[in-house]
Each structure stands twice: as C-alpha cells, then as structure tokens.
Structure 1
C-alpha cells in the first residue's frame, strides 16, 4: 500500500527540527545582539574610584550606570557625577537630599533625618563609629538649594562628601546638572543589582524605579541559550540517528 515510509517520516521530522533550530538561532541572535545594543545605549560602565561607597560598591568594582538627566534623580539613588569644586573627575555617592530639603544628623536614635523625618539606612552596615549606632561619626545640618543634591558616601567614616563642603556655597550640595548616571548594577566582580532604598520611599517624590538591567541581562542570557541550543541540534540529531541505525542492524 502507499503509506508513508519510516524514512519519509524521519526526513520530515529532520526538516522540521532543522527549521526550528534555525529559528531558535535567529531569535537568539536577535535577543543577544539586541541586548548588547540596548545596554550600550542605556548604560555607561564605570570603575569605582574609592572605598567611600563600601559596602554597596567597592573600590575597583565595575558598575553599570544608567544614563539619566539630573532632573530624574531621586533620594536614595547612587549616582555618578562630576563637579569641578570637588575633584573634577567622576565620583560615586548616594543622594540623601534634594532641593528644599533640610538634612541633619543625627537624631536621638542616631539616624539621618530629612525635613525632620528619620531615614532607615540598612545599606550602611555600620563600621564602628558611635558604637555602630549612628548614621555619621560627625553631626551636621544643611539646607539644600533648589536644583541641587546633597550627597553622602555609604562609608561615612571616611567618605569625602557633602559634609566636607558644608562651609562652601550651597552647603555642600552639587547641581543636578553634574549627574551623568545612576548606578544600577555591579558587573565585576559580579554583585548583582543595586537596590533602591525603601527608607526614602515615604518622602515626597518617592524613590526611582529600577532600571532595565535585569530584563537586559535576561535577554542576553536567553539569547545565548537559544543560540547554543539551536546550534547543538544538528550534531545531536546526527548522533541520535547513528545510534538508532546501529540498533536496527
């Protein structure tokens, strides 16, 4: 009778498998290369210059900073900025105050306050000053001018930040226009995403949304997996075919 032979069925399956593997490679290339292009457009890599942001980021870490306008900065963001009155070189600090805020430290429980509201800062992981219970080894107070940002390091015992510049115009703050990026992730050595601190979330304006680092990483990883899986189909199919042929003989 004129039924379909085993060879015809096998060839049909082979053609379908080859088509699917080719599609997987094509989609994988799109995701993989698209992820890198997307990342290059959105992010700028930086090397952390000092230990002032320990333990959030360490000296020598390679980080990805999302390219943003200074107007988009929120309290709690870890930003890259360049200010001629500081070092005239890219620096990385945490924003704790924006224009109009009064920043002070410390309250009765050793916390930083913003407009009188205490802020929990779990990222400090206190390094010993004040018995390990205060947000800064030295007390301070400042009012941030409009269009400016008040910046502190997470290593408050040694960070050269807005506290050092309190006697200068602006009481240590820097213009928003000096900001070039917001740190989203540590890529080497791999440290994952830099979280948005919830301690500032209840203040007016809230905190910034996470950047696209995570979906970008999934796109690149998924693309690589599809490329490898699709490319492996041909050799695996041939190997299985030979194995079946030996069993039939």
Structure 2
C-alpha cells in the first residue's frame, strides 16, 4: 500500500469517527432541547382578541410554568379563576398586592401614582377605555388587564366581584414568553419598560432562546454528520478515477 493510500485511509477513519461524534452530540442537543422545553413550557391557543395587538385571537403562545409568587408587574400570564369562567385566560399583570391602581390621568394608567407607559396598547387608544376608579390590590393577589382594553373581560369589569377585581397569585399557571404562531409574529414578548423602575422590577425571560439554540445546533450537527459519509464516498470515487488517468499519462 502506498503512502498516499495509507494517508487517505487514516483520514477516512478519523472523518468517520468525527462524523459519528457529531451525530451523537447533535441527537443529545436536539432531543434534550425538546425534552427541556416540554418540561418547562406549555403551549396555549389564545381564544380571544383581548390581548391584541400583542397576542391575537387564535395565536399559539409558549408559556413557562412558574409559581405565582414569581409574577412581576408587566408579565403576561395564563391563569384560571373560577369567578371568571374557570377556563385558562391570558392577561397582563399591571398591579400586585398593595398597589394602588387607577385610570386615567392624562389618558394613562397609574400605579401608585406613577403614570405607566404602555407601548403594547393598540395604536390610537389609551387606558381611558377602562375607567378604573382608585383601587387597592389586596395582598397576595394580582390586578390583570387585557391590552385591548375596550373589549377585555378583565379586572376592570370584575371590580364588583369582591377582592377589587383581583385574582390570587396561586391562580397563575404560566408566564407567556413568546408567540409561536403565526410565523409573522413569531418571537419573544418584549418586557414593558414602564414597570422597570418599580419595586421588584421586571421578571427575567425563561431559557426559551437557549432551548431553541440547542435544537437548531443539534439539527445542524445531525445533518452535517449524516452527510459526511456520502460526501466522503463521492470524493473518494473521484480521486480513484483521477489516479489511473494520471498513471496512464505518466506511462
């Protein structure tokens, strides 16, 4: 066997090993990302347009399973409350226990006397549609509004139900991190800066981006590793045809 043949054979074995490692690692990342996501996240279909334009009717969202104690102002949450119909609902948290909520001052929602910038509301509308009298949120509870204030069955229309229209933190099942469908709205939800400088600040998004990155990288490794064998064989056949032709010319 010539030195060239031995070198080619050695390179082929190394390439085959690396290909196998890439496929194995890719499978771990790809499947691990899906399993990780299934444990932490729950898909939901939003049934109404009360969160328009942030989330529309029929949109599919990915919500991280969290404890109600982790909820912060500005979060979009999935919750279930018996007095609201006992079905999963999606609303935005604008107040937590002890907050004084009112609407409106200069057309803006106020929390503890602070006017809240709400860029997520539909264009050309303001918080005035809710007409919320000064209301204190009971401890351990949340005040929730839809982004489409004029058509949302939220805390503003449940003020007379007791507990000032609020729901207990324990009613929260998950926090929405991203819109998964339709594709033109695909992406992470923006955290609202209007609540950023209030006590407790904003919540941190879950590890969804990391999960997606693991799935994408895993898919690339699996496809790249699986493609190595056919590509290497094709290149090898090309080299094999070239050598006899070179030998004939030399003779």
What TM-score do you get using the length of structure 2 for normalisation? 0.93
- 1:246 CA displacement: 2.4
- 1:229 CA displacement: 0.4
- 1:247 CA displacement: 2.7
Gaps of 5+ in 1: 127-131
Matches of 2:130 and 2:9 in 1, distance apart?
77
Match of 1:135 among 127, 138, 163: 127
Which structure has the highest helix share of the two?
Answer: 2
Runs of 4+ aligned structure 1 residues displaced above 6 Å come to none
- 1:58 CA displacement: 1.2
Higher mean Cα deviation, 53-62 or 202-211? Answer: 53-62
Gaps of 5+ in 2: 246-251
Q: Hey, what does 2:248 align to over in structure 1? A: none
- 1:238 CA displacement: 0.7
Q: Hey, what does 1:129 align to over in structure 2? A: none
Task: Answer with 1 or 2: which has the greater Rg.
Answer: 2
Matches of 2:130 and 2:64 in 1, distance apart?
32
Retained in 1: the 8 A contact 2:52–2:122? no
Q: Hey, what does 1:74 align to over in structure 2? A: 72
Matches of 1:229 and 1:189 in 2, distance apart?
29
Matches of 2:2 and 2:169 in 1, distance apart?
73
- 1:4 CA displacement: 6.4
- 1:185 CA displacement: 1.1
Q: Hey, what does 1:203 align to over in structure 2? A: 198
Matches of 1:57 and 1:139 in 2, distance apart?
23
Matches of 1:218 and 1:100 in 2, distance apart?
39
Q: Hey, what does 2:98 align to over in structure 1? A: 100
Q: Hey, what does 1:154 align to over in structure 2? A: 147
- 1:133 CA displacement: 5.0
Q: Hey, what does 1:55 align to over in structure 2? A: 53
Q: Deviations over 1:129-178 (max 9, x none)?
A: xxx25223132132100000000001112111111111121111100010
Matches of 2:141 and 2:65 in 1, distance apart?
18
Q: Hey, what does 1:213 align to over in structure 2? A: 208
